[in-house]
Amino acid sequence: MFIRLVLVVVFSCVLTLVPGLSFGQGAGAPPGAAKRDGSLEQQLLKWNEEMLAAQVRGDIAALDQLLTDDYTRLHAVGAVETKAEFLNGLKEPHFLAIQTSDVTVRVYGSTAILVGHALVKRVGDPDDHTTFMDVWVQQNGKWRVAAWVTTRIPQRAANRGAGN
Check which CATH number belongs to the domain holding 56 and give it.
3.10.450.50
CA–CA separation, 68 and 73 (whole Å)? 11
Q: Tell me whether residue 28 is in a domain.
A: no
Q: Tell me whether residue 128 is in a domain.
A: yes
Contact yes or no for 141/153 (Cβ under 8 A):
no
pLDDT for res 154: 84
Q: How many structural domains does the chain have?
A: 1
Residue 57's domain spans which residues? 37-161
pLDDT for res 160: 57
**What is the block-wise mean pLDDT of the chain (164 residues), using blocks of 10 residues?**
38 36 38 57 97 95 97 94 95 89 97 97 89 97 97 72 52
Q: Tell me whether residue 89 is in a domain.
A: yes
State the pTM of this model: 0.71
pLDDT for res 13: 37
Q: Between the CA of residue 22 and those of 25, 108, 125, 151, what are the distances in Å?
A: 6, 15, 50, 36
Give the strand pairing for 80-82 and 95-108: unpaired
pLDDT for res 5: 39
